[in-house]
């Protein structure tokens, strides 16, 4: 990867209430600060799409980039979980299930996320203590 980019980057929908709550949840558990974050609507995600054309342009897919590999949807979630302390890291075990099944669940949540958790007017501004973990 480009040395200016982190080894583990989570791309998420910056205006999705569920996605923002998920990032907040991750921040609370990733005490080692292993993960970095950027909204799918920002320039970092645009640069990643240029580098990795398999990243979709729509914003209903969480993307995790690690060591030059791109993971999307449920695979991204399981891979992200693997970097959290136990017991959360145990969630990666669900990655052994067929992707067609785990992505079915992922897509079901993605389809209703705005209706249930709402949509923000703009991407959330990180607190001062979190700023080093976020890219534009």
State the pLDDT confidence band at 57, using cuts at 50, 70 and 90. Answer: confident
Calculate ∠ Cα 34-68-134, nearest 5°.
40
**How many C-beta atoms lie closer than 10 Å to residue 34's C-beta?**
15
Whole-prediction pTM: 0.89
State the pLDDT confidence band at 1, using cuts at 50, 70 and 90. Answer: very low
At residue 69, φ and ψ (nearest 5 deg) are -105, 140
- pLDDT for 77-102, tens place per residue? 999 999 999 998 898 999 889 999 99
3-state helix, strand, coil in the chain (%, to 5): 45, 15, 40
């Amino acid at each position: 990867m480009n040395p200016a980019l982190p080894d583990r980057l989570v791309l998420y929908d910056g205006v999705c209430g569920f996605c923002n709550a998920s990032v907040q949840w991750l921040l609370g558990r990733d005490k080692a600060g292993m993960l970095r974050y950027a909204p799918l609507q920002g320039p970092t995600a645009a640069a990643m799409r240029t580098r990795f054309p398999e990243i979709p342009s729509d914003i209903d897919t969480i993307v995790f980039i690690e060591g030059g590999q791109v993971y999307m949807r449920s695979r991204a979630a399981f891979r992200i979980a693997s970097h959290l302390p136990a017991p959360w890291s145990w969630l990666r075990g669900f990655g052994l299930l067929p992707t067609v099944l785990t992505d079915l669940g992922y897509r079901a949540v993605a389809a209703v996320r705005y209706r249930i958790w709402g949509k923000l007017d703009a991407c959330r501004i990180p607190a001062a203590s979190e700023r080093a973990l976020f890219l534009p």
